[in-house]
A and B are shown apart, each in its own frame.
Chain A
Amino acid sequence: MLQVDHLAKTYGEGKSAVEAIGDLSFEVGEGEFLCVVGPSGCGKTTLLKCMAGLLPPSGGEVRLHDQPVDGPPETMALVFQEYSRSLFPWMSVRQNVAFPLKRKRLPKAELGTRVERAVDSVDLTGFLDRYPWELSGGMQQRVAIARALAYQPEILLMDEPFASVDAQTRADLEDLILEVRREYGVTVVFVTHDIDESVYLSDRIVVLTPSPTRVQEVLEVGLPSPRDQVQTKEQPEFARLRAHVYRSIKRRRGAAEPELDATRGDTTAAAPS
């Protein structure tokens, strides 16, 4: 559904040029939950911005339904890491969630129902008329998610959305996003630096190299659904996957990789690192 095709992005020119993204290619299938993990500073946010059409690539392209993305597509929504700066402080929760929907020209009743349903999905029904500054960090991020959901996008991009909240809240939000994804059937591309989170949430993981960024590898995550914070994380497969991802990130770019049979889970083949 979404293709990233030899994407490259360089900031600046000449001597001071910074190559944020070297050469990235991967695909996102319809309905899947894809996590993008990588070391800090590897251009994950840049990648997401290019995918969302907020930044023009220096090379390569991003295609949605085989159409090149040259500006924010109508069927895409984005949830930012800095929730407090992405919500409009002068609007109530209800108004914030309803604001992007004006574009869709819905009849008033339907607009109302969509907003309420979205806010209900994130468990904030009692807070519809509050203002963002009256809410905690986790709640604000939930409003941002509700806003994305009410918009009913085909594909939802999330840029380290839970990085700025505490661990408990993060666990709740992780479960929330899984549930919501089930309920709305939306495709999710989730950028994170948290390895546990990436394994817990995803169907597939794209591991990135340090700058200039390329795809280190792409993994299938064969964990059963629905996921559970305790049970899923107790499974040996979970531990294996997270260890694998960890090593994958830490591995120097270009070093030989061991042949891996992901479903067999066998890493005993000698691997230089």
Chain B
Amino acid sequence: MSGVAATARRPRVPDAALPWLSVAVVLALFELLPRIGVINDRYFPPVSDTLTTLADEVQTSPYWQAIGDTLEGWALGLAIAAGLAIPLGIVIGSFPLLYRASRVLIEFLRPIPSVALIPLAILIYGTGLQSKVFLAAFASFWQLFVQVLYGVQDVDPVATDTARSFGYSRVQRLWRVTLPSAVPYIATGLRIASAVSLILCITAELIIGSAGLGRSINLARSGGDVELMYALILTTGLLGLALNSIFVWAEKRVLHWHPSQRGER
């Protein structure tokens, strides 16, 4: 017979400690293996070296300048995308005929990876902030636009019918029924758009050479400062996590009333 008898087991590591344990193991590996020479320490410097480099960098102003440059592009790109995607998404989503008219266009333009436009951006905007913002805005626009579109279209028809039977005008229905129910989609869309904007900014910095973390990482690599390169890569990871957490937190606050936040499915 199969099954687990309720007999005494070997003492187990408690569940809560597992994540910490695995992280500790990985860190230990990447500290020791380069030092003993199993891994080439020119490619994988010991973790402690990277961390000390990071600690040093944090005290210099070019470090924060680079972060600031990246964030500047991120913010502008996201703002432009939101400023265009939310109104357009609402309008097109609310009028089925408009949607049908634009559907083919959307389906064709959407899959174009914004990175394909990098050369175009260089051509028109040069290698500065404008290129970066153009690419970031283009990419995040589509992510957000699609989400807003779905959100507006996914409104429960029973709700809108109820509103209509109470004599609400079209605009009132939009404001009081459609938008509130589309808000979770918009929130998700903003979170995704933010991540995409960050990625495109760093991409632009890397390939075009605009000021920011991406460029700094590339310079560190080509200059042979491997610890710095890793320290900066780590920074971008942390930056991404931080931005994501802000959006998740904001979502929770704003949408506390919504079933998806209350833990229902």
Contacts and interface: CB of A to CB of B under 8 A. Distances in A.
B4 to A, nearest CB: 7
Contacts of A73: 1
A74 B6 contact: no
Interface string A68-111: 01111110000000000000000000000000000000000000
B2 A71 contact: yes
A196 to B, nearest CB: 36
B129 to A, nearest CB: 51
Interface in A55-72: 56, 67, 69-72
Contacts of A74: 1
A129 B2 CA distance: 32
A67 B5 CA distance: 13
Nearest to A74: B1
A67 B1 contact: yes
**Chain A interface size, under 10 / 10 to 19 / 20 to 34 / 35 or more:** under 10
B42 to A, nearest CB: 50
A10 to B, nearest CB: 14
B3 interface: yes
Nearest to A70: B3
A53 interface: yes
Nearest to B7: A70
Contacts of B1: 53, 67, 69-74
Interface residues of B, number: 6
Contacts of B2: 71-72
B218 to A, nearest CB: 47
Interface string B1-34: 1111110000000000000000000000000000
Interface string A34-65: 00000000000000000001001000000000
Contact of B6 (A53, A56, A67, A72): A56
Contacts of A69: 1, 3
Contacts of A53: 1, 3
Nearest to A76: B1
Contacts of B5: 70
A69 B5 CA distance: 9
A78 to B, nearest CB: 14
A70 B5 CA distance: 6
A73 B210 CA distance: 67
Interface string B70-108: 000000000000000000000000000000000000000
A70 B2 CA distance: 7
Interface in B39-72: none
Contacts of B4: 56, 70-71
B9 to A, nearest CB: 13
A73 to B, nearest CB: 6
A72 B1 CA distance: 7
B178 to A, nearest CB: 33
A240 B1 CA distance: 42
A73 B5 CA distance: 13
Contacts of B3: 53, 69-72
Interface of B: 1-6
7 contacts: A53-B1, A56-B4, A56-B6, A70-B1, A71-B4, A72-B1, A72-B2
- 3 closest A-B pairs by beta carbon, nearest first, are A71-B3, A71-B2, A70-B3
Given A70-B3, A71-B4, A74-B1, 15 more contacts: A53-B1, A53-B3, A56-B4, A56-B6, A67-B1, A69-B3, A70-B1, A70-B4, A71-B1, A71-B2, A71-B3, A72-B1, A72-B2, A72-B3, A73-B1
